[in-house]
A and B are shown apart, each in its own frame.
Chain A
Amino acid sequence: MQLTRRDTLIMGAGVAAVTLLPLPSLAGAWEDAIAAFTEGGEIMDGGIELTAPEIAENGNTVPISVSAPGAVAIAVFAEGNPNPDVVEFQFGPLAGAQSGSTRCRLAGTQNLHAYAKMPDGSIGHTVVSVKVTIGGCGG
């Protein structure tokens, strides 16, 4: 088969479209990951803060912090990663606050979701958008 210039352009456009859509490619995996944490609890907006840079200089090391006073556990999920699970903090009796910070990998610009599990089983939720810069020399 011989590729014409036009074919090549069309193929390129297809690849670009796939690349530009930061949607979870495996919707089932996304829902399963969330459900495994929420365990059917009622999800409400708020009750949890998620701090992440508006623009991450490198997707390899993105600092994130979560805080949800009174929560028993907090989980973070990345919409645009091949595997949505990022991290889950479970707070013990000696936790000084229901908060935690770590550094994570983001495959590209996307939304990060944080869910907080409260003692009564209800779930707090928040979402933050992080732009990940790709394509530089590193300064």
Chain B
Amino acid sequence: MKKITLSATLAAGLAIFAGSASAQVDLDAVLNVEGMDITTRAPAADFLDIDEVISGWVYRTKETQALQMDDFENPGMIFVDIAMDDWNTVDGSEGKSCASCHTDGPAEFAGLRAEMPRWNEEKGSLFNMEDYINLMRVEYMGAEPLKWAKPRMDAMVALISLQSRGDTINVAIDGPVSDIWEQGQELYFTRVGQLDMSCANCHEDSYGLMIRADRLSQGQSNGFPTYRLKNAKLNSIQARFKGCMSNIRAEPYAIGSEEFRALELYVASRGNGLSVEGPSVRN
């Protein structure tokens, strides 16, 4: 595993500063959503070079944090409502809705988000939530697959993710996914783009510091899909990867590409021990 120094990052031109006194991080802030305590700090997995994994929620201002602590304040929940309508809407050649088969409602998927992405034995490939949703739509409903990183898909991912809120992220990295996981790890530490930066430069070497006017987090994916104040909509994990790559002036991989699938697996596994938060609220 490559280690890259912070000074090299500074030289790359994206300035990272120690935080100003006016906006200190409160590592002991407690995330309680609708009476449920959510784990925002946990011991890091053995394969990581950091001691502790920390949810991105911890690094936001108290106003942004508050938006996630009440399901009514959380604007991401509006899209969960919209997805619930979609859940009950018949679509495709088979005349079925999600509800036609899943008679116990989205709650049938409690726990699923905590293991995503994971190996689908039957299909012989790595599956994330979007893959499962489209598999159901195409094979059982006879409906068109939903486009990834678009509002309808992101809302459905949020609805399914919500069923696992508070569950401990437990993504498998061995067995059939081990090669993909290795590829994801390689990508995480590979410098790309005009600013010549890797994921690790910010999210492993510099979390907690300021990047211009923003507080860097560990770039954990446990809160996705995330309602961002910046674009006032739900954002998928891979759409966020694309945004990060654009920020470092790299040519982003395509959403749904082999690279982003591998990276999603690796990044998800870095959050093992944290809680599912989706839909979370970030800046």
Q: Residues on A close to B: CB < 8 A?
A: 53-58, 60-61, 63, 133-139
Contact residue among A55, A134, A138 (Cβ-Cβ distance under 8 Å from B61)? A55
Q: Are B229 and A61 in contact (CB under 8 A)?
A: yes
Q: Give which listed residue, A53, A56, A63, A138, contacts B214 with CB less than 8 A.
A: A138
Contact A60/B232 with A136-B214, A139-B59, A139-B217 known, Cβ cut-off 8 Å: yes
Cross-chain contact A55 with B283 (CB below 8 angstroms)? no
Residue of A nearest to B220 (CB): A139
B247 CB contact (under 8 Å) in A57, A63, A137: A137
Given A55-B22, A55-B23, A60-B232, also A136-B213 (CB < 8 A): yes
Enumerate chain A residues within 8 angstroms of B67, measured Cβ to Cβ. 63
6 A-B residue pairs with Cβ-Cβ distance under 8 Å, sorted by A, are A54-B22, A56-B61, A58-B64, A61-B232, A63-B67, A137-B202
A-B contact count (CB 8 A): 63
- B102 within 8 A of partner (CB): no
Counting CB contacts under 8 A, is B215 at the interface?
yes
Q: A139 touching B56 by the CB < 8 A rule?
A: yes
Which B positions have Cβ atoms within 8 angstroms of A?
Answer: 22-23, 56, 59-61, 63-64, 67, 202, 211-217, 219, 228-232, 243-244, 247, 282-283
B202 cross-chain contacts in A, Cβ below 8 A: 137
Determine if B244 and A53 form an interchain contact, defined as CB atoms under 8 angstroms apart.
no
Instruction: Let me know if A138 and B63 touch, CB within 8 A.
Output: no
In the bound complex, residues from chain B placing their C-beta under 8 Å from that of A54 are 22
Q: Find chain A residues with CB under 8 A from B213 CB.
A: 133-136
Contact check, B22 vs A138: say whether CB atoms are below 8 A apart: no
Closest to B203 in A: A139
Cβ contact within 8 Å between A138 and B230: yes
Does B22 contact A60, Cβ atoms closer than 8 Å? no
Given A55-B23, A57-B63, A58-B283, residue A139 in contact with residue B229 (CB < 8 A)? no
Task: Give the distance in Å from the alpha carbon of A61 to the alpha carbon of B66 in the complex.
Answer: 13
Q: How far is the CA of A53 from the CA of B62 in the complex (A)?
A: 9
A137:B211 contact, CB within 8 angstroms: yes
| Closest partner residue, chain A, to B247 (CB atom) | A137
Q: What are the 6 A-B residue pairs with the smallest beta carbon separation, nearest first? A: A136-B214, A133-B213, A58-B229, A61-B229, A57-B283, A139-B217
Q: Which of A56, A135, A137 contacts B63 (CB 8 A)?
A: A56
| Separation of A54 and B21 alpha carbons in the complex (Å) | 13
Q: How far is the CB of B197 from chain A (nearest CB, A)?
A: 11
Q: Which residues of B contact A136 (CB under 8 A)?
A: 211-214, 283
In the complex, what residue of chain B is closest to A53 when comparing beta carbons? B63
Cα-based distance from A57 to B217 in the complex (angstroms): 14
The CA of A136 and the CA of B56, in the complex, are separated in Å by: 15
Q: Which residues of A contact B219 (CB under 8 A)?
A: 139
With A53-B61, A56-B63, A58-B283 as known contacts, state yes or no: A135 contacts B212, CB within 8 Å.
yes
